[in-house]
Structure 1
Amino acid sequence: MSRKLDGKVAAITGGASGMGRATVMRYLEEGASVAIGDLNAHNGAETLKAAEDAGFADRVIFVRGDVAEEGDVEALVGGAVEKFGRLDIMFNNAGVGGAFGPITETTVEEWDYTFNVLVRGVFLGVKHAVRQMKKQGDGGAVINTASIAGLSGGAGPNAYSAAKAAVHNLTRVTAAELAQDRIRINAIAPGAIRTPLLHSGRAAEMDAIAQDKTPWPVLGEGTDIAGAAVFLASDDSQFVTGHTLVVDGGALAASPNFWGFGADSLFKKHAGMNRGSTGEKSYARDIERK
């Protein structure tokens, strides 16, 4: 049976949980070798073991790092090249929920942290992956995790939505820049996907909100994103670049308003930071009603 990524080498940031982990496993099944990048070493060890238990020990490594730190992104790309000899696919997937709450209650530090992970991290991933791909001289595929929040005003907190909008446009401009090098740059825009980043320990509450706002009768899973990531990494999409592939169960088509606009809106009651599955602590503070 033909595998779509035979002989390819991929690096995946945020690869230790959720959509990233699902994509790691799918890429391995499709014949790729994978360098997993993640800040959470515990999750990284679990993902590495799952891959090894599935018989892929010789085609997978884990490199701990923070995508907002240039040296760490360089180390991930370098680790892939050192172990497997090249880099064909870069999936800039690492993310956090970031700052949430009213814009008047968001601190500069919370805003900057959100953009550092969600935008600077993608910039660094594109930069260093493309440097390696240009050296190789035979093209490559870069995939960025965006979000329907970057395409709508009602699908996420303000800082997160603004950051994901930046990812959408960074994808377009770099696709145009690198087309002559046969390096394709595309994005995936997930909707409500059942991952630790979505529910942050409150799975039942978040599932109820998401299912109420998504036309498809069930929530998306990490494997749904992995399938899209295989398509965008493979030769099946060889003439596709500068594109954002929406994977959201029809949420964007239905004009999402996930969190509401009234006084009882979730993001009008609290402000704080969602650091997702990084292993770092998230927090929320109540907003005083005036």
Structure 2
Amino acid sequence: MSTSQDYTRVAIVTGGARGIGKAISLRLAADGLDVVVADLPGQIELLNTVAEEIQRMGRKAVAVAVDVTKEADVKAMVEATVSALGRLDVMVANAGVGGSVQSVMDADIQAWEKGWEVNIKGVLLCYKYAARQIVKQGNGGRIIGASSICGLRGYADVGGYCISKAAVRSLTQTTALELREHKITVNAYAPAVIETNMTATEADKEHGPGFGVKRLLKIPDFRTGQPADVANAVSFLASPDSHFVTGQTISMNDGTIAVIADVSKEEDFKAMVDATVLALDRLDVMVANAGVVNGAGGLVSVMDAKVEGWQNGWDVNIRGTLERLSTAVWFDIVHNNVIARCRGIKF
């Protein structure tokens, strides 16, 4: 997509009546885009409120009722966008539903399929009709889908939801490969627990926002995110600056974990890497910063050196660094060059 243009870019945001979708709509308007906010017919009053807020920001906005599980609705939504605003440059397939809490053994297939209709089929239809329109225009564009941390790894008792969000990740990679020749980037965002109506539980009233979902997923007590945190990431993915990013699923999980490790011990370091991958799904950057000043030997001359003291320093500064780097390199080679190739796109 060209970084210079003589037209105003236009975005569609599904699930735009409230929560993450509303935040994305307002952020894209603040970024200078005209926006079509779309949601179920029952949300039309909320949609109109969001559209009016965007218009007060000096941007054009249109509210469209759509059921993303119906192909005719999605096709009509794209056509209405082009009719009202002249074009389509950014599709944010944000609409989604939560899943039922069931083990695989107790799975209610009809309930799981209901979630798949919105979370998989709905995203597919948005990708399909947005891609057709953007390709026809010939200027490139952005297609962005809603995945989840549950799409990056499995969690017990929410298998139906995990499957649907993993499918978005795979669909995003596939579509990115198919559309890159048209200068259309295709990416997804994968939030952790975001404070919205969809994630609210009764337990949150006593313990704070996001508590119930974090307890269900057995994830660390990271900071609960706000819809604006997701909107900030989507703003980048929708921008010209993201032209070199495609086929990616951006994880948003307040991604910090604390791990206790003695880096001079190989088993501790291996456990640290394993814990990183378990919590965050991958490892991309290793900073081998841990070190000591001459170990327990203090500041002494060679003539007064205590070998055992120097040995302690060597264990941390030399051996520890070697093990940190060698393990990181090993993981990078195995994960990024073997597994990542299976996921579709490799830069």
* Cα displacement (A) at 1:232: 0.2
Match of 1:208 in 2: 211
What are the ranges of 5 or more consecutive residues in structure 1 without an aligned counterpart? 258-290
User: Percent identity between the aligned chains?
Assistant: 36
So what's the TM-score if we normalise by structure 1?
Answer: 0.79
Cα gap change, 1:48 to 1:239, in 2 (>3 Å): same
Which range moved further: 112-121 or 248-257? 248-257
| Shift in CA distance, 182/112, structure 1 to aligned 2, threshold 3 Å | same
Which is worse superposed, 152-161 or 124-133?
152-161
1:232 alignment partner in structure 2: 237
Distance 2:214 2:165 in 1: 22
- What TM-score, normalized by structure 2, do the two folds share? 0.67
C-alpha distance in 1 between matches for 2:235 and 2:210: 26
Alpha-carbon deviations, 1:248-279, whole Å to 9, x = none? 1127957459xxxxxxxxxxxxxxxxxxxxxx
Paired amino acid for 2:62: I
**CA–CA distance in structure 2, aligned partners of residues 211 and 160 of structure 1:** 15
Once residues 73 and 39 of structure 1 are traced to their aligned partners in structure 2, the CA distance between those partners, rounded to angstroms, is 11
CA distance in structure 2 between the partners assigned to 1:196 and 1:174 by the alignment: 30
Provide the residue aligned with 1:182 in structure 2: 183
CA drift at 1:181? 0.7
The answer to whether structure 1 residue 22 and structure 2 residue 27 are counterparts is no
Q: Equivalent residue of 1:105, what SS?
A: coil
Rg larger in structure: 2
Contact 2:69 2:117 in 1 (8 A): yes
Do the aligned partners of residues 108 and 70 (structure 1) sit closer, same or farther apart at CA in structure 2, a change above 3 Å counting? Answer: same
- Whether the 8 Å contact between 1:143 and 1:186 is mirrored in structure 2 is yes
1:214–1:249 Cα contact (<8 Å) kept: no
Aligned pairs, number = 252
Match of 1:263 in 2: none
Identify which range, 248-257 or 130-139, moves more after superposition: 248-257
| Aligned equivalent of 2:63 | 62
Cα RMSD of the aligned pairs, angstroms, is 2.5
Structure 1 position 215, deviation (Å): 5.2
Distance 1:155 1:31 in 2: 42
| Aligned residue type for 2:49 | K
Report if aligned partners of 1:96, 1:114 keep a CA contact under 8 Å in 2: yes
Consecutive aligned runs of 4 or more in structure 1 exceeding 3 Å deviation: 200-203, 209-216, 251-257
Give the stretch that moved more between structures: 94-103 or 7-16. 94-103
Bigger Cα displacement from structure 2, 9-18 vs 248-257? 248-257
Contact 1:149 1:156 in 2 (8 A): no
Q: 1:240 to 1:109 in 2, by over 3 A?
A: same
Q: Does 1:241 align with 2:246?
A: yes
Contact kept? 1:215, 1:251, Cα under 8 Å: no
Cα distance 1:107–1:39, how it changes in 2: closer, same or farther (>3 A)?
same
Moved more, 243-252 or 24-33: 243-252
Q: Which moved more, 1:160-169 or 1:98-107?
A: 98-107
Question: How do residues 97-112 of structure 1 correspond to structure 2 at under 5 angstroms?
Answer: 97-112=98-113
- Point out the structure with the larger strand share: 1
Can you give the 5+ residue segments of structure 2 that lack an aligned partner in the other structure? 258-275, 281-347
Larger helix percent: 2
Evaluate the alpha carbon distance shift between residue 58 and residue 240 of structure 1 in structure 2; reply closer, same or farther with a 3 A threshold. closer
- Distance change (3 Å), C-alpha of 1:154 and 1:47: same
Does residue 144 in structure 1 map to residue 149 in structure 2?
Answer: no
The Cα offsets for residues 150-173 of structure 1, whole Å up to 9 and x where unpaired, read as: 111227710000111111011001
Assess if the C-alpha contact under 8 Å between 1:35 and 1:79 holds in 2: no
1:67 deviates by 0.8
CA drift of 1:241 comes to 0.5
Distance 1:57 1:79 in 2: 21
